[in-house]
Amino acid sequence: MINVILQVAQVLGGDNSDIGMILQTLFSLSFIIYLFYAQRIQAMTMLRQVEVTLRKVKTIKDEGRRVSIEMVKEVGKPERDPTPDVDRFLEQFVISPVSMDPAGIMGKLDQLINVSDYTNEAEVKAIAPQATEAEAHNIENLLGAAHALNYYYKAIRHFYLLGKKTMNVYIIMQIHMILPLIIKEIEATSSAIQAFRNGMPIGDGVGPLVVSKLMRGHELIDVARETVAAWVPYEGRTLILLKAKGPGGSVGKPGAGVAKILGDDKKEKKIKAVIMIDAAGKLEGEPVGEIAEGFGAAIGGIGVEKYKIEEAVKARDIPMYAIAIKQDISHVIAPMVEELHKATDTALESVKRIVTERTQEGDHVLVAGIGNTMGIAQ
């Protein structure tokens, strides 16, 4: 091998000095080393980038845990140290039901979510006995964010350590490829810590905020768990406004709420349309707070609530209009930006326009504001 290089160098260099020879040999040698070890070098470079992210995530998830414990101590005033309880919560998991035979999976998921919701609520009450209802909900949200950060950290660490152990470029690539997206999600979750700690309205709260503007001052009726509705007259119509009950952080059960309201109306058939307002992910390049109108059930999540709404609306065969307020993933659980706050007024105008243009006087219209109502009362 070296002979070959020397020959090549000789051909290239002609009758030059010894130093020139050495330089050229080194040059060729480094080229050949790179030829064989390029992948390893690449793997190390990628691993280093993963490591940097891992450190960053560790700082953020430790902060999430610290703030959670601090908040539980501060507002909950527990008799014993809540640290083990918080740590236990951070390791909590939910096993999703088998989906090979998907019939009836919605019922299973619904039951599973209800059990975890009720259990977590009871646990938060137990570790933070002095917290108000709103504060307890905010603690639940904060613990949820800390849980997500802990999970991200563990997932990245898993790939990092596995990659380091095997030095397999394909294992490292799996995590490296999606690193920018993961970083974005982690940054989004980390900005939730401040919002959840203080009970500030978040980007996801645009739906409830729009509805709350119409709802204020009217009599409220509990229609489902943590979900309230109000019957409000508007331009000869009756708007049935539905949102999660604030100002504690909660998304409520809009599916159950819509199903109940539509079910109660089964005989009279007064409700002629459903309008849903929700935050929607914007594409890169779209402005924050842009309003888009469309059709269908505007609601995210794992799909249980969406399923319930679709079923209830299908049973009645009435149109379902959607208003989306566009925002970036980094806005969804961060303190609400001004653009989104302004966009709620525009969205309110859209609601009013849809009501006057697409329904008749005397009709009832169900308007549901979907999202987390933290920091937004009614």
> Footprint of other proteins on residues 326-355 (CB under 8 A)?
334-338, 340-341
State the minimum distance, in angstroms, from the CB of residue 214 to other proteins: 12
Q: Which of 39, 96, 116, 194 binds other proteins (CB under 8 A)?
A: 194
User: How many positions of this chain bind other proteins (CB under 8 A)?
Assistant: 53
Residue 180 interacting with other proteins (CB under 8 A): no
Q: Which of 87, 222, 235, 349 binds other proteins (CB under 8 A)?
A: 87
Dmax (CA) of the chain: 103
Stretch in the footprint of other proteins (CB under 8 A) among 47-55, 104-112, 121-129, 311-319: 47-55
Residue 212 interacting with other proteins (CB under 8 A): yes
Q: Which of 42, 51, 97, 120 binds other proteins (CB under 8 A)?
A: 51
Q: Which of 43, 46, 60, 242 binds other proteins (CB under 8 A)?
A: 60
d(CA 75, CA 54): 31
Q: Which is nearer to other proteins, 161 or 302 (CB)?
A: 161
Find the angle CA(114)-CA(116)-CA(120) to the nearest 5 degrees: 120
Q: Which is nearer to other proteins, 92 or 356 (CB)?
A: 92
Q: Which of 46, 139, 145, 209 binds other proteins (CB under 8 A)?
A: 209
Stretch in the footprint of other proteins (CB under 8 A) among 60-68, 92-100, 168-176, 270-278: 60-68
Of the candidates 243, 322, 222, the one whose C-alpha atom is nearest the C-alpha of residue 279 is: 322
Residue 49 half-sphere exposure toward CB, CA atoms < 13 A: 16
Q: What Rg do the C-alpha atoms of the chain give, in angstroms?
A: 28
State the minimum distance, in angstroms, from the CB of residue 19 to other proteins: 6
Which positions from 230 to 259 touch other proteins by CB under 8 A, shown as an x/- string? ----------------xx------------
End-to-end CA separation in angstroms for the chain: 80
Q: Which of 68, 141, 190, 227 binds other proteins (CB under 8 A)?
A: 190
Contact between 320 and 276 under an 8 Å Cβ cutoff? The reply is yes
d(CA 360, CA 371): 28
Residue 290 interacting with other proteins (CB under 8 A): no
Q: Which pair of tokens denotes residue 224?
A: 């489902």
Residue 211 interacting with other proteins (CB under 8 A): no
d(CA 1, CA 23): 17
- Count the neighbouring beta carbons within 10 Å of the beta carbon of residue 326: 21
C-alpha dihedral sign at 298, 241, 222, 258:
negative
d(CA 113, CA 309): 17
d(CA 348, CA 254): 19
Residue 139 interacting with other proteins (CB under 8 A): no
In order of 10, 110, 253, 298, the CA distances from 306 in angstroms are: 74, 11, 10, 8
Q: Which of 40, 48, 270, 314 binds other proteins (CB under 8 A)?
A: 48
Residue 6 interacting with other proteins (CB under 8 A): no
Binding site for other proteins (CB under 8 A): 12-14, 16, 19-20, 23-24, 26-27, 47-48, 51-52, 54-56, 58-60, 62-63, 65, 87, 134, 157, 161, 164, 187, 190-191, 193-194, 198-201, 209, 212, 216, 246-247, 334-338, 340-341, 375-378
